[in-house]
Amino acid sequence: MRNRKIKIKKGDTVLLLAGKDKGKKGKVLEVLTDKVAAIVERMNVAKRHQRPSQNFPGGIIDKALPIPVSKLMLVCPRCGEPARVSSKEVEGKRLRGCVRCGEVVDKV
């Protein structure tokens, strides 16, 4: 059963609601549907010791760890405020809209 809706998409700007990066905004790099989590640019970064490999000389790398989507809030591209998202159907497509200013976040 996978009917938990993820309202965040790749490329969105989101606000982090919890954790050490609380209050920061960042861009979604990847949405992990099966984990109901997202990887956000420069958020929840952990230092990882990486072994040398063919493509990488080894050392410490910054790795962004997934953040549960429940800790993220979409930031409206128009009003720049964290927005509750409404969902409406236009011409058969499901579009997300900002509750605050009414802007449709998704472009058709």
d(CA 94, CA 57): 45
**55-84: contacts with Zn ion (CB under 5 A):** 76, 78-79, 83
CB of 64 to Zn ion, least distance (A): 26
- Binding-residue pattern over the window 13 to 52 for Zn ion, x denoting contact by CB under 5 A: ----------------------------------------
CB-count exposure of residue 72 (10 Å: 0-12, 13-18, 19+): buried
End-to-end CA distance of the chain: 28
Looking at 3-11, 18-26, 42-50, 90-98, which segment touches Zn ion (CB under 5 A)? 90-98
Residue 100 interacts with Zn ion (CB under 5 A): yes or no: yes
